[in-house]
Amino acid sequence: VAISAAMIGLFFLFMGETEEKIRLEEENKRLAVLEERNRVARELHDSVAQALFGINLHLSTIDYLNKHQPQDLPKVIAQLQEMVVEIQAEMRLMIYELKPTIFVEKGFSESKAYSSLNHSGESRNNQGGNREIDH
């Protein structure tokens, strides 16, 4: 009887340690995901802030060019358009880096269905025509 009680005690002690270990592993995974999201958010903020500063600098020259060197305006406008395209691409990449967590949490099939339900109707006007927004 004493041996059985000791074995039962050891069993519950082991189960408690196992549950605690599982809880700690889950907490570590959650913290790792949170840290990665924070890292991506910082990168996104830094890169977008830098790009917006550059765009603002170019925009501030437009008035001057319009008055003094109007022949240079098309070049500056083209540079601005290129900068905006680059920012959009960078943002899409960073947003894509955030998306894989849904695959881990829900699985591929469910996350694909979720994604198509949430993004199927989105479109925007682009020079008089509609096109799907890239996600």
Render pLDDT for 40-70 as a digit per residue (tens, 0 to 9). 788 878 888 888 898 899 888 998 999 999 9
Tally of residues, the chain = 135
pLDDT score of 113: 57
Q: pLDDT class for 100, splitting at 50, 70, 90? A: low
Residues 6+ apart with CB under 8 A from 44: 91, 94
Answer yes or no: is 100 within a domain: yes
pLDDT score of 109: 58
Answer yes or no: is 124 within a domain: no
Closest CA to 116 of 102, 97, 130: 102
Answer yes or no: is 125 within a domain: no
pLDDT averaged over the chain? 75
Domain hosting residue 86, numbered range? 2-118
Asked whether the beta carbons of 115 and 79 are under 8 A apart, the reply is no
Q: How many CB atoms lie within 10 A of CB 54?
A: 15
CA–CA gap between residue 92 and residue 69 (Å, rounded): 35
pLDDT score of 69: 94
> Can you give the pTM of this predicted structure?
0.47
Answer yes or no: is 126 within a domain: no
DSSP type of residue 133: P
Q: Is the pLDDT of residue 75 over 90?
A: yes
Q: Are strands 129-132 and 123-126 parallel, antiparallel or unpaired?
A: antiparallel
Domain count, the chain: 1
Q: Give the chain's radius of gyration (CA, Å).
A: 27
pLDDT score of 120: 47
Q: Is the pLDDT of residue 86 over 60?
A: yes
Q: pLDDT class for 114, splitting at 50, 70, 90? A: low
| Tokens of residue 30, six digits | 């959650």
| Mean pLDDT (whole number) for 15-20 | 78
Answer yes or no: is 103 within a domain: yes
Asked whether the beta carbons of 114 and 71 are under 8 A apart, the reply is no
pLDDT score of 123: 40
| Mean pLDDT (whole number) for 104-120 | 55
